[in-house]
Amino acid sequence: MTDYHALHARIRALTEGETDIVALMATLACEIHQSDDRFDWTGFYRVVAPDLLKIGPYQGGHGCLSIPFSRGVCGAAARTGQVQLVPDVDAFPGHIACASSTRSEIVLPVFGNGGRLLGVLDIDSDRPDAFTDEDATRLAAILKEVFGHV
């Protein structure tokens, strides 16, 4: 399991004073991905147009290049502004299989200053039911601290 206290401290130290969104996303993708062996793919999809996400910084195999808000787990998180905790991706209507090895997924919306949706953080696992409410709460706190001022 992730040592969220240590992860949060590392991310805070690495990102202090940084305002470039891509630099922040790249740093978080790397640190989060390396923090837990449950995390098979870790990355960001950025809002680039109304109702459209494009791949951003990530760790792991290839990701989908574009995801409309109307499709998949990432689209649902962007569309609703709510964390999507999916224990079995095959049971999620409209799941987009960017990697056939993915069994479960957590996707968190990423909000910037003023509540502007910047994108989503997507973490996939090759294990079923890999994510918990604690993962959602702790990751959301990290995202809010890092991106809430940009």
Domain ranges of the chain: 4-147
Q: Which pLDDT belongs to residue 20?
A: 97
CATH 3.30.450.40 for domain 4-147, yes or no, is: yes
Distance from chain centroid for Cα 134: 15
Q: Which pLDDT belongs to residue 101?
A: 86
DSSP state of 99: S
Q: Which pLDDT belongs to residue 145?
A: 97
d(CA 50, CA 140): 23
Q: Which pLDDT belongs to residue 52?
A: 98
CB 88 within 8 A of CB 113: no
Q: Which pLDDT belongs to residue 118?
A: 98
Polymer length of the chain: 150
Give the tens place of pLDDT for each residue, 22-64.
Answer: 999 999 999 999 999 999 999 999 999 999 999 999 999 999 9
Q: Which pLDDT belongs to residue 61?
A: 93
Give the pLDDT band (50/70/90) at residue 139: very high
Average pLDDT over residues 73-80: 97
Give the pLDDT band (50/70/90) at residue 97: confident
Q: Which residues contact 5 (CB under 8 A, 6 or more apart)?
A: none
